Structure 1
Amino acid sequence: MALMLLRLRDIHKSFAGAEGPVPVLRGVDLDLAAGESLALTGESGSGKSTLLHLVGGLDRPDRGRIEVAGTEVTALDDSGRAALRRGTVGVVFQQFNLIPSLTVGDNIAFQARIAGRHEPVRATALAERLGLAPHLAKYPEQLSGGQQQRCAIARTLAARPALVLADEPTGNLDEATAEEVLGAMLELVAETGAALLMVTHSQHHAARMGRRLHLHAGRIA
């Protein structure tokens, strides 16, 4: 039986508005096992990215419980949530968030070094699999958008996270490049046995995941 890696129970989140709190999430329950891939879809403003940020410890819910690999994220302080992102959870953003002063090779190694898991052989293998081997000495500004996202994916996976969160990871790419990048990410995540939770507006991309859930008005529809 697969390890239940992610468990959300009764998650609520509101943000301040001009006329008072604006509810974004209204009691979300979700389970994700190790090795599973899950697409989270929904219209703009449905709470998809908010939910992903809560799982990654980038924000706190108003109510509810989030567990990642047996750790209650909602009980952690800022340093505890930062440690969770270093060692257990990896995040791939729509904006690549590469460090412009570091080479591609050093960007790939960055997260793994912080986590104390840097393996030069693995980093090189990821670069080769993602078509980045000829570009390791370059800087992010010298890469195309697709290459930068491949670098961001390699950086995340080099640290061997148990849970990968991807927030519209191909949203800034053209259709053909998006297909290539998504395919590479799904293949590499599957090989590690990690769980993948991906926010996407694309039904086509969602169909490539193991299962999907749809958020509507802050609830799982």
Structure 2
Amino acid sequence: MLLTVRDLKKTYPGAEGPAPVLRGVDLDLAAGESLALTGESGSGKSTLLHLVGGLDRPDGGQIALDGEELSVLDDAGRARLRRGTVGVIFQQFNLIPSLDVAANIAFQARLAGRHDAARDAQLAEALGLAPHLAKYPEQLSGGQQQRVAIARTLSAAPRLVLADEPTGNLDEATAAHVLEAMLALVTGSGAALLMVTHSQALAARLDRRLHLTGGRLA
């Protein structure tokens, strides 16, 4: 199993005292599998994604990624994990305005020390970005910018892709097209995908779906 989560807990301080967000989450995800995570706003979906990606620390429980327990890693160890094993796609594109599309795509892979120009070319072709490699983010549509963000993440060849509302800023037709391309690329590489989404239609296109409510998955 690529990802194993057991009895994961997270609590944040609130105006009326501690507010539990995750109350004991269990989750398994295999390589090559895609899983949609749904739930109401504030249910803890993004919190769970951030904990799995090493962007935050849990208050209890265990997260094992590719056999490595996250709780024993220091900040440098979690940063190494995000550069190599885990790739994160956010709703905000977070492209670098001063870099053209080709350089934005290569950015994460260069940080990870695994840049492959041939892989970048394949990603650009698959995502319809080949004619736009010399352009800058401000010259692209929202859908094109999100494709660049997806290509940048996949360029580093992560084992696990975490996507937090990756098509939330796009219209329904564009979102469906972008998701289809992302799914084909992620599963085709043998990686696993854990995606947070509010869209039931998009969630239905993934292999499995889990709903987060009351701090637990169902």
1:64-106 Cα offsets, whole Å, 9 max, x none, are: 1001101111211111100000010000000011111111100
- Tell me the TM-score normalised to structure 1 length: 0.97
1:42 maps to which of 17, 39, 44: 39
> Alignment length, in residue pairs?
218
Match runs of 1:1-221 below 5 Å: 4-221=1-218
Report the 3-state secondary structure (helix = DSSP H, G, I; strand = E; otherwise coil) of the residue aligned with 1:58: coil
Question: What is the CA-CA distance between 1:19 and the residue it aligns to?
Answer: 1.8
Task: Return the TM-score normalized by structure 2.
Answer: 0.99
Distance in 2, matches of 1:114 and 1:97, equals 16
Q: CA RMSD in A?
A: 0.6
Q: Secondary structure at the match of 1:82?
A: helix
Deviation at 1:138, TM superposition (A): 0.9
Q: Distance between the aligned counterparts of 1:19 and 1:169, measured in 2?
A: 33
Unaligned runs of 5+ in 1: none
Residues 89-142 of structure 1: CA deviation (Å, up to 9, x unaligned): 000000011111111100000011111111111101111111111111111111
**3-state DSSP of counterpart to 1:188:** helix
Counterpart AA for 1:216: T
Q: Note the C-alpha offset of 1:187.
A: 0.5
Q: Structure 1 counterpart of 2:202, which letter?
A: H
Kindly provide the amino acid, as one letter, of the partner of residue 89 in structure 1. Answer: V
| Letter in structure 2 aligned against 1:54 | L
